[in-house]
Structures are given as C-alpha cells and as structure tokens.
Chains A and B, each alone.
Chain A
Amino acid sequence: MTQPAIFFAEVNERQGLFHRRAILLGAFAGIGISALGARLAYLQLFQTQRYEKLAVSNQFNFKLAPAPRGVIVDRNGAVLAANRPNFRLMVARDKGSDTEGVLKSLANFVPLDDARQRRLLKDIHNAPKRAPVPVMEDMSWEQFSAINVRAPELPGVTADVGEVRVYPHGGAFAHVIGYVAKVNREDIDDTPNPEPIMLHPGFRIGKQGVEKALDAALRGRAGAHKVEVDANGREVGHDVDGDIPAVPGDEVQLTLDVDIQNRALEVFGEESGGAVMMDCRNGDILCMSSAPSFDANRFVRGLTGPEYRALAGYERKPLLDKCLTGLYPPGSTFKTMTALAILNAGIDPEARVSCGGGMNFGGRYFHCHKRGGHGSQNLHEAIKNSCDTYFYSMSLRVGPDRIAQAARAFGLGQTFDIGIPGQKKGTVPDPAWKKRYFSKNEAQQPWWPGENLSYAIGQGYLQVNALQLAVMTARLANGLKALNPRLIKSVGGKERPKGSDGPDLPFPTDHIERVRAGMAAVTDQAQGGTAWRNSQLGLGDILMAGKTGTAQVRNYDSGGSRGKGGTWGLRDHGLFVAFAPIDAPRYAIAVIVQHGMGGGAAAAPRAREIMRTALLKDPELMSRIQKPVPMPPLVADPELDTVPAVSNVERPV
C-alpha cells in the first residue's frame, strides 16, 4: 500500500454519487416505513370497529342449551312428567387425540365393557370432529365427580349435568302422555324448519301422546352459553354474562286424576284392556288407562333390542293404546243405543216380546244369551236382563238407520279433538256405509235384514273404542248435552274449551230417562239385573247404574266353547259401561276387558273399583257418604233398664 489507492477526482465522483444515491435509499426507507405507518393508522384507527367485530366472532361461540321441558301435571297439580338432573358423560375426538386410550381410562370409573368400547369408538369416529358423543347417561354423583376431577388428563371428555325426563308413575300414563326420546333422522325430515337445537345430544323429542302432540309448547325456547373458543374450536372459557337464557317449556295440565288412573291400571292386573272415565258434567277425562302398560322411563333411556322385542311380541300388546286405537264390538252395552232407537221409532216401551231362548230369522236361529229364555220382556226388563231376543225382534221394526243415528248422536263412529293422536274412528254401519265399503264387490253391498239382529246387540260390523263408549255413557248420564271429552285442561296456564260447551242431544229427555232407568235396574239387587253382584259400591245411598256387554270375537255356529274358555285370543271380550251416582250423575266409565269373558264378571267389578276411587275423592260426595244416619228411635226395653249399644247401627264408610 505504497501508492494512493484511487485518484482523487475519481474518489470524489464515486463518493458524491454514492452519497446522493444513499440519500435516495434513505428516502425510500423513510417513505416505506411511513407507508406502513399509514396503513397501520388506517387499520387500527379507522377500521377498528369492523375488525373488533371479526375478532369477537372469532373468539366467542354460542353453544345451544336445551330449555327445561314443560312439566305435565294432573287436574290437581300432581306431577305426571317432570325433569331430573342427569349426569352425562360425553367424549369427542380431536386432532391427534387417542380416543381408544381415553375410553380405556374411562372404564376405570364407569362400567364400559370391551364390546361397548368398540361400538363407542366407531360412533365417535363417525361423528364430526369435536362433536361430543354421549358415552353414558345417568352416572352417579361419585362417578361424575371422579371423572370431573380427572378431566385434564382425559382429553375430549366432558361430564356435564343435563336434564332427563322422568315419569314418576311409570306405566300408568304411558299411553296418554307418551314419552320422549332421542331425535332420529325421520324427526328431522318430518320437521319443516328443524331448529338447530334438535341436533344437540341432550335434546329429546316427544314421540307419543301428549309429549308428541304438545311438543312445541313443552319444548320451550333453547338458550345458549357464550363460550370462548380457540382457533381449533376448543372451549377455553365461559362468559356467564353473555349467556342467552332458555325459556322453559309450558306447563301442561291434564284432566286426568293420578289416583283414579293408578287404580285403573292396578285393577286390571294381568288382564288386557282399557278403561276410560269421564266427568259427565263437563266432559273431562279423569282416567284413560290401557293395560298392560310399559314403563315410559325405559323409552327415555333407550330400549335395548330384547326389551323392545319383548314388548312388541307380547300377545296382550302393551304398546297398543286400547282406549283410543283398540277397536272392539261393544256387545250388549250397545243395547242402550238400540233402546233409544226403539223409543225414537215411536214403539211403545211397554210393548212386550216373548223370549224363549232365541228366535228364528231368515232360516237361522239367533240365540239369546240365556238358553232357557227370559219369558215376556218389555224395554225396561230387556235392558235389565240384556235380553237378546227382545232386541232381535225390535230391530226388525226399527231398522239400521235409526240405530246408526242414535249411535252417532252419542259419539260412536267418530274421533274427538282431545289433543293427542292415535284415535281410531271405528265403524257405525248402515246400508249407505255398507254400499260405500263394498264399492268393489256388488254382491256384498245390500243390507240383509238379518244384519239388523246382530247390529241390535252390538255385533256385526260395529266397532268402537273405549273412549267412544265412555262418551256414549257420559252423554246418557248427562242426558242433555252432547258432551265432548277433554283431556288437556290447560297449556301454559291457558285453559282449553270445556266439553260441555257443545250442542244438546237430539233425543227427548224422557227417552234417555227410560234407558237410564233400565241401566239402574241392571245393577239393582232387588230387580236382579245382570250385574248387580259386581256393581255394589258400598257407599250408602250412592248407587251406580250400568250396562254389561259380552262381545263375541268369532262366530259360534261352528260350535265349540262359546268363548267362555279355551285359548285366550278366542275368548269373549267383557265390557261394562256405568255411571254414578244414579240420582245426580257425575262420573261415567267404560271398561273393556279384552278376552275377559263376561261383562258382568270381568268388567263390572273393575269399573266398580275405579268408580269408588273417583267417588271417594269427590269432596261433595264424601260429605254425602259420611252424613250420619239418623239414630233409630229408642225403644225402652222393659226387661233391661239399659240403653242399647250404638255399635249395632251400621255406618257406611
């Protein structure tokens, strides 16, 4: 380095050039950084609100929470369907989570066998990521707290408290109230605008009866929890103040009475059938019981395959509602209608028919149920003795149209707006109906006079359900109004219209009075009616009037046991309709004992027990029952100078 590195002039030129260009670089950097600052100002000072909104919508999610389902109560406020806390265990899968290992660890706290673990693993795998899959319901408090304590070591596991439907009376209301269950594909497809809450794992939908019919009211409006989530959707916090409260479902009050309903199921025992009781002043249904029944709580939890097969396969059909869906020939209970038709035809009720055990008609012998015959019968006696021959004979003078007119006026062959689905109309035949029914088969269309005979005693094409029989009896007992049954008293505190708001019955009161007198004789010991042995209430001067019915389920012409024994499915149905008290009717009841044989023996005592429960619960009637019997006048005993013991004076209970 002996000589100067570069010529001075050149040095100056290069240096000067560099300095000018370096200023440009500095200016460029300055402009660039200012531009960044301007951009920041635009984003952070002028667009803040927009991006704040976006940040909040990133940060918070609303998680739906089902509303508490509305409670269902009986006419006195006793709870028929309620909710109780349910400790649930759920597992969701996430990126990189070891679901299999998690399930294995869970098996230490709750019973999860290998087969169930495998099935759950598949369910969890098929579910969307981070969607919780229920693993166990109804854990005990110990299980719930043990898992909650260990939650940090169990990724994807949540144990929370939900609500589960509970039916405290088990099976007694199963057919009326129905049950709730998990939402399935069809439920969503059937709903025009499915709410998002339907996809919530804790949500249950009404599947039968009141739960289904009033589902919208019972459901309430779902609320939401405001939760803080991270970018992967994991919940990291809960903003309690931001929660949207759920609106609980409406309370539904039924007209049913829990004591009467429970008693009805009780008295059926092992038998199959239905019992419907109505208040014959206002149409309220106090009892609508179908036996045998099933425990609705099991359906809430979800039936196992064998459980369902056992219920569906049992010949006494516990899943069938025998009050609304089951159709039966009314048998002799229908003679009340035939009697009204006879009176309506202008036939003198005192006109007599001689019963010698049956009658010949159209080349066929029509038996009376009493082989020996009843002798000479007028209308009153014919009802009391349920004499078939009288009604056979009269039916030929009355004709099917009049009988059908009476039946329809009293509620047979129709459905009622009681607010729950499943009612069958049944059949009230007449020549016009038959022509319609056999429109494809002309040979079957004419109404044969012989059909009048079966019709008159409640057989043939005639089919009714227990509710219709109860309405018929209630209308007879009321005597004035064409009562409609009412099952749902109020929804959310709003009362539904009463059943007595309808029109009057199109029959003169004295006709109805005559039929009722006949029904009173049926249960009267002094007159020896068909049901007097099994229809004594034992409640002092409060008496029950009724009509028995024994309905054939097959034609006996081929001989055999006449339905009094043998194979259960071939036995006669036993029916009984009744009302009480006779002097001021309050309650009307219809009881059908499927294949129970003999209305007087199978159905009447059950009707009596249910009726007693209703009467004893009625405070006005109780005061009448408990009214002290006047003291018998004291007769001085010349031999004993003492007062006789009061204890021999019978006091009704």
Chain B
Amino acid sequence: MTVSALTRPGERDRLIVKLSELDWVFVLVLSLIAGAGALMLFSIAGSSWTPWAAAHVARFGICLLMMIALAMIDIRVWFALAYPIYGLGLLLLVAVEAVGDIRLGAQRWLSIGSFSFQPSEVMKLGIVLALARLYHGVSAERARLSWWLLIPAMMIGVPVLLVAHQPDLGTAMLIALTGAAIVMLAGLSWKIIGAAVVGALAVIPPFVLFGMHDYQRQRVLTFLDPESDPSGSGYHILQSMIALGSGGLLGKGYGLGSQSQLNFLPEKQTDFIFATLAEEFGFVGCVSLLILYAAAIFMALRTSYLSHSHFGRLGAAGVTATFTLYVMINGAMVMGLAPVVGVPMPMLSYGGTVMLTVMIGFGLVQSVRVHRYAEVTSGKGSFV
C-alpha cells in the first residue's frame, strides 16, 4: 500500500486498512507486560497454571481482541456515546448507593443476575469521554480561565464524591486526578492550577485527621512510618520492601523468591505482584518492566499528538493519564512511597476489572489513532 492510496476517499474506512493502522508495537508492549504478569503468577502458584496464570493469559487474550474491535469503531461513534456512557456511569453510581452489595465493608458492587461489577470502573472511562466531548466544542479562551470551568468541575466533582462515599478513596482519587489531567491538558490557566495545588496541600492534612475512616487514616499513618507496627498494618509495606530489597541486582531466581513463595508477601497475585517480580528478577527485571510501561505510556501519548480532533487528543491523553496514574500509584505503594491503596499494576496484576477498564481505554486510544484524520463535528451546544 502506498501513501497515496491512503489519501483516496473511503480508503481509510476499509477494515484491512484500519487494522494496518493499529499500533502493533503498542500491542506487542502490552503483551509483554501481560506475559510478565503470567510468568509471575505461574511462579507464585508453585509453578502451576492454576489458579492464576492460565486465567490471566485467557483474559488478556479476550481483552486484546476487544481492544482491537473497539479500535475499529469510528471515533465519531465514541464521540456520540461519550455523554450517554458518562450518564450511565452516574446512574449506576447512584444505584449502588441505593442497592449495592457491601463487600469488605464498602458499598462498591452492583449485581445484575450472577454478574457483579463496580460502577466506578465505568466512570473511569466515562469521565475521560465526557470531558473530551465537552472540551471538543469549547474555545481555548474558555478552557483557560472562565466561569464556564464550573461545568467540568461539577462533571468531575459529582462522581468523585459518589465514589468517595462508597467509600473507595483510591478510585475517587484516580477519577479526580484523571479529570484534573484532562482539564489541564485542555489548557487550564496556571493561576488556577497553582491555586488548586496550594488549596489541596492545605486541605489534605486536616482531611486525613478528621475526614477519613479509621482504616483509611491508619493506612496513611502507617505509610509514614511502616516499621512502627511491623506485624500489624505496617506489615504489607514492610514485607513488600523486604521482597524488593532482598531481590538485589539480579534477583533470587525464578520461583525462588522466599517472600513470595512462602506467603510473607500479602496480596502477592494482585496489588503486590510487582514485588514478586522484583524479588525473583531483581533490579534488572524491575527496570525492564518500567521501560515497558514507559514505552506504553509514550506510545499512547504520541497517539494523542497525531489526532486531528480535539476529542481524540483529549480522549487518548486522558486514558494515558489514567494508565500512568495506575502505574505510579501502584509502584509507589509497592516501594513504600505511598500508603496502601487498592490500586493494582495494570496488565501485570491478576484481576479482570482493571484489565478490562484499561483495555477498553486503550481501545479508545487505538480508535483515535486509526481515525486520526476523521473530522468530528463541533458539537457546540449539542448532545448528539
């Protein structure tokens, strides 16, 4: 296929052309990360495909196919569905307030038949789509500094408060930061950014002391001094740091990590899987994995550069911001730099929900790439 062929009208709508426009290197990077996850899950199950490794590979396969399928969907369809998805997410969050299941002391789950899921996951994607849709029809002047900014502020604030009330501070924070990232990418004035940062710094300490549930406050305080209570709430962080530190440069060898194999590491297959990799493959393995994550982040960010539509730019960048936040928060937690919040390492950790969310997000990113030249309606004042 020549470059000139792609300029022919309608040529870019052909499926085979769309598939060739996918970022296959990106697919390779994601597969490598998921493969590393399967490798570690196989190791910590005592060299067994069950219970985790096989399921992890199967899930990733399905999610990858879904991502490719979503990438084929025209960006204008995504554009049209942005507000409905956000609206559905809000509805579900209200529903979970009313009739949600209480699991592990928090009201996060909604059951439909035998299938149960967390509506807050829908909102992670919904906030990206809705804000991208909103900013698509707005001038740079308004996006920078105007009373109009109250609209995106409310669009972020309402779901964040609903999720925080469940209570799921980790996800609420993730949604808030994702929204904030899009607002900033859209060109928010530095004055407001500066004021928000100062405001947040002023608000957080009293919130930690008075506004949190006991277990949440305990986690934060423990993070500040994990060795104060090594067998209690400091246990997670301490054991994770022992796993990391004892791995050294080259690690203890595959399947030989005492911390992971003997269960000293808590939640080793989910939140702390990075620590098992660190223990068995050492600094070299960890840096390799971080390079893969960095590659994924920069490829996704580059996609946002390529887009000719503002919706596409902000959507792809928003998903990238979410993904980056996942990696940073989990990494910082495992390394003892952040309190223990239930944020997994995307693609590496066992667990379907986060993989599904992230892969749907990457479906949007790839759709933006495939349809980067597509013209998206201004959508000014329109909800279609």
Contacts and interface: CB of A to CB of B under 8 A. Distances in A.
Q: Specify whether A and B are partners.
A: yes
Contact of A55 (B259, B310, B327): B259
Interface in B225-284: 239, 241-249, 258-259, 262-264, 278, 282-283
Interface stretch (A228-236, A499-507, A617-625): A228-236
Given A29-B328, A44-B247, A55-B245, 9 more contacts: A14-B140, A18-B310, A21-B186, A22-B313, A37-B286, A40-B286, A44-B282, A56-B258, A228-B262
A36 B243 contact: no
Chain A facing B: main interface SS: helix
B377 interface: yes
A37 B287 contact: yes
Interface string B180-193: 01001111000000
B324 A29 contact: yes
B320 interface: yes
A22 to B, nearest CB: 6
Given A26-B301, A51-B242, A58 B262 contact: yes
17 contacts: A5-B376, A17-B144, A18-B304, A18-B314, A29-B294, A29-B297, A29-B324, A29-B328, A37-B287, A37-B290, A44-B245, A44-B278, A44-B282, A45-B249, A48-B246, A58-B242, A236-B262
A325 interface: no
A22 B324 contact: no
Nearest to A59: B258
Given A17-B187, A25-B181, A55-B258, A36 B278 contact: no
B378 A33 contact: no
B248 A55 contact: no
B375 A1 contact: yes
Interface stretch (B20-28, B61-69, B329-337): B329-337
A5 B186 contact: no
Contacts of B337: 36, 39
A45 to B, nearest CB: 6
Interface in B310-343: 310, 313-314, 317, 320-321, 324, 327-328, 331-332, 335-337
Given A26-B298, A40-B244, A230 B263 contact: yes
Given A5-B376, A18-B313, A21-B185, A231 B262 contact: yes
**Pairs A-B, 7 closest by C-beta atoms:** A51-B245, A55-B246, A17-B187, A231-B263, A230-B262, A44-B283, A59-B258
Interface string A3-14: 001100011011
A47 B243 CA distance: 12
A635 interface: no
A115 B321 CA distance: 67
A51 B377 contact: no
Nearest to B304: A22
Contacts of B185: 18, 21-22, 25
B243 A55 contact: yes
A35 B187 CA distance: 26
A523 B242 CA distance: 86
A36 B282 contact: no
A169 B263 CA distance: 52
B139 interface: yes
A5 B76 CA distance: 13
A44 B286 contact: yes
Interface string A334-352: 0000000000000000000
A301 B228 CA distance: 47
A226 to B, nearest CB: 14
Contact of A231 (B264, B290, B309, B336): B264
Contact of B248 (A5, A25, A45, A231): A45
B152 to A, nearest CB: 15
Contact of A1 (B258, B313, B331, B377): B377
A30 interface: yes
Given A5-B376, A45-B249, A36 B242 contact: no
A22 B245 contact: no
Contact of B328 (A5, A18, A32, A43): A32
B293 interface: yes
Interface in A68-87: none
B246 A18 contact: no
Contacts of A629: none
Contacts of A15: 310, 313
A381 to B, nearest CB: 88
Interface in A304-336: none
A608 B64 CA distance: 103
B375 A25 contact: no
Nearest to A237: B262
A22 B324 CA distance: 13
B143 interface: yes
B287 A21 contact: no
B294 A30 contact: yes
B264 A58 contact: yes
Nearest to A236: B262
B305 interface: yes
Contacts of A48: 245-249
Contacts of B143: 14, 17
Contact of B242 (A17, A22, A32, A54): A54
A19 interface: yes
Given A5-B375, A33-B290, A33-B294, A40 B335 contact: yes
A24 B294 CA distance: 15
A146 interface: no
Interface in B169-187: 181, 184-187
A440 interface: no
A495 interface: no
A354 to B, nearest CB: 93
A52 interface: yes
A5 B378 CA distance: 5
Given A37-B287, A37-B290, A6 B246 contact: no
Contacts of A6: 310, 378
A18 B335 contact: no
